[in-house]
Amino acid sequence: MKKFTQRQLEIREKIVQDKKLSLTKRKEAHKEMLDDFMNPDENFNPDTFDCRKDDENYEVKKRTRVEPTRRLPHLGMKPKELLVGQMVGMYESKQDLYLLIAWLSERVSDLEDKLNKK
């Protein structure tokens, strides 16, 4: 996939903003911009991908990808109560989502342990 230049992105942004153009053309320009944004690396490797590799302090901030442990660390914290309504999930923080996943990993690991004992 060829990356767009800054100028090409600016042109597409102008197309998106231009209400005189058809909705189809505007949507197409937006999709091209989104595809460009969502695929920043031409040589994508899921094991080493890091969207921040262009940061000048990358070597300091770099985190490696690893296989997660069976039980995710949560230090006893639990997610906050869920807000239920038409906007369910809209206001959940990344921390709450992580803690929910950690809680689920505990339950799954407990079930696996019970099955393995039988």
Dihedral in degrees, nearest 10, Cα atoms 101, 51, 10, 22: -40
pLDDT tens for 47-79 read 888 888 888 999 998 888 899 999 999 999 999
CA separation for the pair 116, 118 (Å, rounded)? 6
pLDDT, position 31: 95
pLDDT band at 1 (very low <50, low <70, confident <90, very high): low
**Cα distance between residue 110 and residue 76, in whole Å:** 16
Position 116 confidence tier, pLDDT thresholds 50, 70, 90: very high
What are the backbone dihedrals phi and psi of residue 37, each rounded to the nearest 5 degrees, phi first?
-65, -40
What are the domain boundaries of the chain?
6-61, 69-118
- pLDDT tens readout for residues 13-48: 999 999 999 999 999 999 999 998 898 888 888 888
In the predicted model, is pLDDT for residue 2 greater than 80? no
Which alpha helices (DSSP H) does 19-93 contain, by range? 23-38, 58-61
